[in-house]
């Protein structure tokens, strides 16, 4: 399992994050043209719901290190979503996994 550090996308709000709750990746990343800001996303199962999470450059780097560059290998893998903790993380405008 990979630990995911995320500055939560518009799809999951900080108040919805449960400490230690894992999510399972359902799809390869794709461009979500219906989102407020066009972004690369992946669908996940989180707390028994189908949700989306932003896939930033940093997120993609972490996932690639864990499961390789072929995004098909990411499907059905578990991730742990965490809220930013350090001041630097909180100030960043990036979304991280």
Paired tokens of 57: 């450059």
Q: Work out whether strand 2-5 and strand 78-82 pair parallel, antiparallel, or are unpaired.
A: parallel
- pTM exceeding 0.85: no
Q: Among residues 20, 85, 28, 10, which one has the least CA distance to residue 46? A: 20
Cα–Cα separations (whole angstroms), residue 61 to 15, 45, 56 = 26, 21, 8
Q: Say what the pLDDT of residue 34 is.
A: 72
49 Cβ contact partners less than 8 Å away, ≥ 6 residues apart: none
For 43-95, write each residue's pLDDT tens digit.
999 988 898 888 888 888 889 999 999 999 999 999 988 777 778 777 665 44
Q: What is the Rg, in whole angstroms, of the alpha carbon atoms belonging to the chain? A: 12
């Amino acid at each position: 399992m990979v630990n995911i550090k995320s500055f939560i996308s518009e799809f999951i709000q900080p108040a919805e994050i449960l400490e230690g709750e894992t999510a399972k990746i359902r799809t390869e990343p794709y461009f979500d043209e219906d989102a407020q800001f066009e972004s690369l996303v992946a669908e996940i199962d989180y707390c028994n719901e189908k949700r989306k999470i932003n896939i930033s450059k940093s997120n993609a780097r972490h996932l690639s290190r864990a499961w390789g560059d072929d995004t098909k290998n990411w499907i059905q893998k578990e991730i742990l979503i965490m809220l930013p903790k350090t001041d630097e993380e909180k100030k960043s405008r990036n979304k991280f996994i």
